[in-house]
Structures are given as C-alpha cells and as structure tokens.
Amino acid sequence: MAATYEPIATQTLNSAVADVFFLTVPQTYTDLVLVMTGGCTINAGVGHRLNTINTQSYGGTFIEGNGTTATSSRVTSDTYMRVGWNATWSTTSVNNLISHFHNYSNTTTFKSVVTRINDLTNGATGLSVCTFRSTAAITSINVMTSNGTSFLVGSTFTLYGIKAE
C-alpha cells in the first residue's frame, strides 16, 4: 500500500510562540499538507518562510469573503509568504488554515502553495495562491505571524506527506 497522507511531524503549543518550525522536511513525498488550528494572542495574519529564506522571494494572490463583500488582492514581493492575508487568526475563536505545497522537492521549478483560510470571528473565508521564487527543494517550513505576535497555547500544527504512487 502506498505510504501517503503520512504524518511527518506535529506540534501542539504548550507556550505561546511567534514561530513554529518544521525542520529537515523529508524529501520522499510528492506534496505536503500543513494543517493549522488555533489562534493568536493579537490578531495577525499567518505566513510561511521556506528554507529560512527572508529575501523578497515570495508573492501571492488572495480572494476572501468577510460575510459581506468579496475582495481580491496581490503581493508581488515580500520577505515571507503571506498565506493568510486580511483573514486573521483571532483570540476569540478557533480558526484553521490548510496549506498545500505542490511538488515541493523538485529542484527545477518555483514552488506554489495553495492555502484555505477560515476565520469566523474577525476575518473571513478565503483562498491564497502563493509562489516561492526558488528552485530549491523545500527542506524547512517556518510558520509565522505577520506582526510578530504569538500563536496561542493549544494551537496545533501538523505536516503531512502525500505521495503520488
């Protein structure tokens, strides 16, 4: 049986931290799925920094609905991948983000990440499609907040591997 949708690593926060790391991501899968639930101590966007690269290597396009209007926006260059734009994780509800990293281990193409964003209380439901302008294989993922605030205690982060065989 194919080894697919395998848990690679999981973290449940026992203390509030602003950065969650998945280091030494195995290169044996085809795609990755990162499931995040929880909130932040102060409203914040959520982003990824890949391979510890903090140069202007990330872009993204977003669409979201806040319950009243639908909006779309775009970031061409940033120092991290803003997977959740205006949709924020809040202190008053449990939210979730689900990021899909496609063909993450290839060394030929830039990497794309599709993220579903769900925040009922303060934000919106939305979708982001982001690019990491690097041909390097993704070997580490840093989940971070947009303003340096911390993720709440009890927030969970689980990385799964998907294999195309």
Partner 1 sequence: MANTYKLIQTVTVSTGGAASVEFNSIPQTYTDLLILYSGRSTRAASGDDLYIRFNGLSTNLSSKVLYGTGSAATSFSDASIAYVGYFTGDTGTASVFSNGSIYIPNYTASVAKSISGDAVNENNATGATQLIHAGLWNSTAAINQINLYALNGNWKQYSSASLYGISKT
Binding interface with partner 1 (CB under 8 A): 1, 3-7, 10, 35, 37, 63-70, 72, 93-96, 98, 116-121, 124-127, 154, 156, 158, 160
Angle at 124 between CA 123 and CA 129, to 5 degrees: 115
Measured from the CB atom, the residue of 7 and 148 that comes closer to partner 1 is 7
**Unique residue bearing structure tokens 């509030």:** 16
Least gap, CB of 105 to partner 1 (angstroms): 20
Measured from the CB atom, the residue of 53 and 159 that comes closer to partner 1 is 159
Measured from the CB atom, the residue of 18 and 33 that comes closer to partner 1 is 33
Q: Is the separation of the CB atoms in 133 and 55 below 8 Å?
A: no
Q: Which residues contact 29 (CB under 8 A, 6 or more apart)?
A: 4, 6, 8, 104, 105, 161, 162, 163
Least gap, CB of 89 to partner 1 (angstroms): 10
Q: Is the separation of the CB atoms in 147 and 48 below 8 Å?
A: no
Measured from the CB atom, the residue of 105 and 128 that comes closer to partner 1 is 128
Measured from the CB atom, the residue of 25 and 117 that comes closer to partner 1 is 117
The residue ranges of DSSP E strands in 13-94, in sequence order, are: 19-22, 31-38, 44-50, 58-65, 70-78, 81-89
Instruction: Give the SS3 label for residue 73.
Output: strand
Q: Is the separation of the CB atoms in 47 and 82 below 8 Å?
A: yes
Least gap, CB of 52 to partner 1 (angstroms): 24
Least gap, CB of 56 to partner 1 (angstroms): 29
Least gap, CB of 55 to partner 1 (angstroms): 31
